Structure 1
Amino acid sequence: MRFHTRKWVKPEDLSANGTLFGGKVLSWIDEEAILYSIIQLENKRVVTKYISEINFMSSALEGDIIEIGIEVVQFGTTSLTLNCEVRNKMNHETIVMVDHIIVVNLDEKGQPKPHGKSKVEYVKDRLKKEQEEKKA
């Protein structure tokens, strides 16, 4: 799994218990899943359709740095299924695991649209391919 984003746990991210608020983590996970999907599907019109069971395993404290990792589980016709791990960079403990996050690719009218993707692509590879096509 690749960890794409780091977040610094600040006072406004804490619950009444003084630990990282679960709702804040879920918001970060949803945002990261959407950002990852926009890049993979090359379309800014994607939405979260489903988030499976969320397993909170530990927490974080103010000042901790957490990492959010996203991995593709499956490419559907109009969807992308991801899993996610959030871990505490300070103590190396997993904070949250999410087995399935399904995002759907949309057209201009907000309807599901086939994305034509079948494997993970990296931006550096796309740029290299574009440069090679321009030279040809």
Structure 2
Amino acid sequence: MRFLSRRLVMPNDLNFAGSLFGGRILEWIDEEAYIYAACQLDAKSLVTKHIGAISFETSAYQGDVVEFGLGVKKVGRTSLTVTCVVRNKQTKQNICVADDIVFVHIDPATRTPEPHGKTQAELEDLKLETPE
């Protein structure tokens, strides 16, 4: 899993208890996973179909830098399933894990699913070409 981007936890990201609001982290996960999937498929006409198991493991607080690790889990004909791990940059503790995030490639005009044209093997080769 590659950790590709980071965010700073700001005051407006906090809940009443002073820790990172769960809804905010889910918003970030959806956005980061979309960017990752769009880059993997070289396509921007994707929609989020499903987000599976979500596990909150520890809290983040104002001033913490969180980083997003993403990886391809499964490649379908019209879909791509990714996993996202959010961790504290400094401590490396997992904050949240979102598994089975499914994106579907759609035709922009008809809004119906269409094949994205990538295979698991092509995405595996892409991983080998990308430096850690």
CA distance in 2, matches of 1:16, 1:122: 43
Shift of 1:122: 4.5
Specify the alignment match of 2:77 in structure 1.
77
Do residues 98 (structure 1) and 98 (structure 2) align?
yes
Q: Where do residues 1-136 of structure 1 align in structure 2 (5 Å cutoff)? A: 1-108=1-108, 109-118=110-119, 119-120=122-123, 122=126
Q: Give the number of the structure whose alpha-carbon radius of gyration is greater.
A: 1
1:72 to partner: Cα distance: 0.1
- SS of the aligned residue for 1:66 comes to strand
Deviation at 1:90, TM superposition (A): 2.2
Output the CA distance in 2 between the equivalents of 1:122 and 1:65.
Answer: 28
CA distance in 2, matches of 1:106, 1:37: 13
Shift of 1:115: 0.8
Instruction: Provide the TM-score with structure 1 as the length reference.
Output: 0.86
Query: For 2:33, what is the secondary structure of its paired residue?
Result: helix
Distance 2:91 2:81 in 1: 29
Tell me the distance in 2 between the aligned counterparts of 1:112 and 1:87. Answer: 33
Cα deviations by residue, 1:52-83 (Å, 9 ceiling, x for unpaired): 01100001110000001110001000000111
Unaligned runs of 5+ in 1: 126-136
Counterpart residue identity of residue 40, structure 1: Q
Name the Cα RMSD after superposition.
1.7
SS in 2 for 1:24: helix
Q: Structure 2: which 5+ runs fail to align?
A: none
The alignment-based identity, stated in percent, is: 46
Aligned-partner Cα distance in 2 for 1:34–1:99: 14
**Residues 96-117 of structure 1, C-alpha deviations (whole Å, 9 max, x = no match):** 0112100000112211010111
Please state how far the C-alpha of 1:44 moved relative to its aligned partner.
1.1
